Amino acid sequence: MGSRVDTDEDSDNRGSMWDLDQKLDQPMDEEAGRLRNMYREKFLLVQKSSALLLLRLAFQSLGVVYGDLGTSPLYVFYNTFPNGVKDEEDVIGALSLIIYSLTLVPLLKYVFVVLRANDNGQGGTFALYSLLCRHAKIKTIPNQHRTDEDLTTYSRSTFHEKSFAAKTKRWLEEQESAKRAILILVLVGTCMVIGDGILTPAISVLSAVGGIKVNQPRMSSGVVVLVAVVILVGFFSMQHYGTDRVSWLFAPIVLLWFLLIGGIGIFNIWKYGSGVLKAFSPVYIYRYFRRGGKEGWTSLGGIMLSITGTEALFADLAHFPVSAVQLAFTLVVFPCLLLAYSGQAAYLMNNLTHSQDAFYRSIPDRIYWPVFIVATLAAVVASQATITATFSIIKQALALGSFPRVKVVYTSKKFLGQIYVPDINWILMILCIAVTAGFENQNQIGNAYGTAVVIVMLVTTILMILIMILVWRCHWILVLVFTGLSLIVECTYFSSVLFKVDQGGWVPLAIAGAFLIIMSVWHYGTVKRYEFEMHSKVSMAWILGLGPSLGLVRVPGIGLVYTELASGVPHIFSHFITNLPAIHSVVVFVCVKYLPVYTVPEEERFLVKRIGPKNFHIFRCVARYGYKDLHKKDDDFEKKLFENLFTFVRLESMMEGCSDSDEYSLYGQKIEHPRDGLLHNNGSTVSSNMDLTMSSVDSIVPVRSPHHMNITVRSSGQTSSQTEVDEFEFLNTCRDAGVVHILGNTVVRARRESRFYKKIAVDYIYAFLRKICRENSVIFNVPHESLLNVGQIFYV
């Protein structure tokens, strides 16, 4: 894998080179001529290095992005003609459908349109949803603060008040039903991607291993299935090692695969005749449907498999620039796939009864076994791409509160996108083996696969319509053209797969239904818990009325109270001090929240607030993460929390001596004082790259690590410095006395008068998921001896 690169600089280089030539095409001496040649050589060198880097990234993207799409020739014609081919014209019609399906969906829709909708290089259903959440307030858990919009990764567009985009935004924000519909749509797409993670390894490995039976006709189908199951068990068992050590092999394997199927296609066209090339005329599509009728229409489910892997193409985008992925598709993938399908069609026209194993029978005998080995390796790579996409989208769902808390492990220190989810891995393995061994033939797996793929594409199309309106602000005609073309193609395929629901198509629907129930119930419980905390949070007047001691004994130490609230005092705190006679000398409310951005830079991660007057010693720390970030299981979190807390105290003390106003802003700018002018140190002007907003009661500071700032403030007198030293000593003393982690254990129950389905969802499904999922104490790596759980029950 490679890192991202911005190749837009190429056009800038060309423009600069032209300007340079224009300026230097004037009378000049010998020195000026040498200077011109030197600059020209530098520009050419930059252009050459950029082009070489782009080619290298395009090569590497083959192994990660295109494995699934590339292995489709193994099973497309078998699933299109499961009962054999009746007429040569049918082969031409099917090939014509494949050609135009590859052109309209992967090439035009995804490679040149959908890939541009990436979220800072991240692709997939949740990346689109995150983009929408940043441009309209449609997130169902409203835990965002205005300071979140100041993040460097929180990019969004602004609208003219009377524009169509602004009207759409207001409508979405006002309609709660629209917000829920979009979320359900995203969850459905996510569930279908999980279904792909089950069906892709099953059909790819089984189709590749099926080549043994072609060369050894006496071998039973049971042996083929057994070999496929053994490979799948080994494949899933190796997932915890990650792909970092072997990923360098993926690109050469897939490139060799594409070259082989392209070369075999050319050989078959030369050997069996070039008459198949007339399939590039769309007339044969019309003839195919007119002659085949309903049978021809239902065969679209098999044609549909030629574009499977297209959604994985978008989901696995993360580590490559869009231009590299586009280059790989147009130069290698697209032409090789067209040649492979055309070659198989040429073979089938001369061997109408060989549709079930057209790929392997069309291979020349001399290279049969080498191709078989490469096909099996390519199937494993294709499966890995889909599994990686499944892990990634589950991580995103987990971050946005739509999936139960499961263990997420980074498998690579170099590439943060490479993760492993153990629980999901074993579930996928069991279901994949069940599908492989349970179905009678590949055709039923193909029907199931097609159903999952077309539903994911429909979800992407609907989300893309909103992206084009809200994010890109396209003209309504362009939106209409994109919508019309996409829905015509995808609804056509969807109507055909509906005929095969009883022939295997029910499998992804059942899998998606089960995961949709789990994700919906979990999200419902998460939202209700957040609403409970919001509605029952304690007022500042109540806190202030208790006085500095909070009406209790303040014992030495620091209490970290974990809460989902990013503002206000949580109910757990009042519940705690109501039932216990003591509280720690320093209390810090800790909120870990995920934002609709792909990552939050380390230096912008923490927000620190003071709650109440100084002598209360109550703070809030909000740790912000993106959906690609992982709350690592180490001790750095607590260390960084205290570093940012101390930084806040120092800045607050410094600011007290230089202004009388209630609010200040410090963000890479000079601060003007109404009386003293600029902040200074020994008469010199000082600037900082830190955000600081501070109010008298509930202040907030997006702080960065101390080594990022170089600010010294001249205080009037020693009061500010003395206060700073005193509070530093007090905080350090409390930290040395011990840190206790206080977590709320909130139990959600349905009311007695609730309907039966709500009781089942809340009292049984949600309660079961809470019991089996990971505890927050494990996720936050809280030492067991320092953990204090505070239980509470609320009814919904």
Q: What is the pLDDT of residues 637-665, one digit of tens each?
A: 788 888 888 888 888 877 765 544 333 33
Token readout for 14 is 């060309």
Residue 353 CB neighbours (<10 A):
9
pTM of the model: 0.80
Among candidate residues 77, 67, 78, 72, the one with its CA nearest the CA of residue 377: 67
Q: Which of 386, 278, 350, 748 is nearest to 531 (CA)?
A: 748
pLDDT at site 699: 39
Percentage above 90 pLDDT, the chain: 24
Residue 399 and residue 139: Cα distance in Å, rounded? 13
Q: At residue 723, does pLDDT exceed 80?
A: no
- Rounded to whole angstroms, the Cα distance separating 368 from 469 reads 51
Q: Is the dihedral of CA 361, 364, 369, 370 positive or negative?
A: negative
Q: What is the DSSP string of 139-168?
A: -SS----GGGGGSTT-------TTSHHHHH
pLDDT value for 772: 84
Q: Considering Cα of 548, then 550, then 556, then 557, what sign does the dihedral take?
A: negative
pLDDT in tens, 369-391: 999 999 999 999 888 888 888 88
CA 346, distance to chain mean position in Å, is 41
**What number is the average pLDDT over the span 454-476?**
92
Q: State residue 113's pLDDT score.
A: 92
Gap between the terminal Cα atoms of the chain:
47
Are 135 and 168 a contacting pair, CB within 8 Å? no
Instruction: pLDDT band for 273, please (50, 70, 90 cuts).
Output: confident
**What pLDDT score was predicted for residue 687?**
30
Task: Please say whether the dihedral angle defined by the alpha carbons of residues 34, 51, 127 and 533, taken in this order, is positive or negative.
Answer: negative
Q: How confident is the model at residue 40 (pLDDT cuts 50, 70, 90)?
A: low
The full length of the chain comes to 796
Nearest of 194, 507, 207 to residue 380 by alpha carbon: 207
* pLDDT tens by residue, 474-498: 888 999 999 999 999 999 999 988 8
DSSP letters spanning 728-769: HHHHHHHHHH-EEEEEEEEEEE--TTS-HHHHIIIIIIIHHH
Q: Which of the four pLDDT bands, split at 50, 70 and 90, describes residue 47?
A: low
pLDDT digits over 195-223, tens only? 888 988 988 888 888 888 877 777 887 88
582-594 vs 553-562, strand pairing mode: parallel
CA distance 703 to 691: 6
The yes-or-no verdict on residue 793 having pLDDT over 90 is no
Q: Is the pLDDT of residue 700 over 50?
A: no
pLDDT in tens, 50-89: 788 888 888 888 888 888 889 999 989 988 998 888 888 8
Helix (H) or strand (E) holding 794: strand 787-795
Q: Residue 250: is its pLDDT beyond 80?
A: yes
Does the structure show a pLDDT above 50 at 681? no
Amino acid letter for position 497: V
pLDDT at 97 over 90: yes
Query: Can you tell me whether residue 486 is helix, strand or coil?
Result: helix
Question: Nearest-5° angle of CA 54, CA 124, CA 448?
Answer: 115
- Residue 539 vs residue 297, higher pLDDT: 297
Q: What is the pLDDT of residue 518?
A: 94
pLDDT score of 777:
63
Residue 123 near residue 318 (C-beta atoms within 8 A): yes
Half-sphere exposure of 212 (CA within 13 A, CB side): 16
* 144-158, 220-234, 595-609, 728-742: range with lowest mean pLDDT: 144-158
Q: By C-alpha distance, which of 615, 646, 399 is closest to 526?
A: 399
DSSP state at residue 218: T
CA distance 285 to 293: 12
pLDDT at 44: 53
194, pLDDT greater than 60: yes
Residue closest to 638 by CA, chosen among 741, 714, 546, 545: 741
Cβ neighbours of residue 349 under 8 Å, at least 6 residues apart?
Answer: 88, 91, 92, 272, 273, 275, 276
3-state DSSP call for residue 521? helix
pLDDT score at 266: 96
416 vs 312: which has the higher pLDDT: 312
- Max mean pLDDT among 227-236, 442-451, 530-539 falls in 227-236
When pLDDT is averaged across residues 447-463 and rounded to a whole number, the result is: 89
Please determine, for residue 10, whether its predicted confidence score (pLDDT) is greater than 60.
Answer: no
| Cα–Cα–Cα angle for 529, 531, 534, rounded to 5 degrees | 110
Please give the average per-residue pLDDT across 718-742, as a whole number.
74
Whole-number pLDDT of residue 688: 31
Cα–Cα dist 379/261, whole Å: 14
In Å, how far from its chain's centre is CA 90? Answer: 41
Average pLDDT value for the chain? 79
Residue 767 vs residues 276, 397, 517, 541: alpha-carbon distances, Å: 59, 19, 14, 35
CA 387, CA 316: separation in Å to the nearest integer?
A: 10
Scored b (16 or more CB within 10 A) or e, 14-24 reads eeebeeeeeee
The phi and psi torsions of 618 (rounded to 5 degrees) equal -120, 130
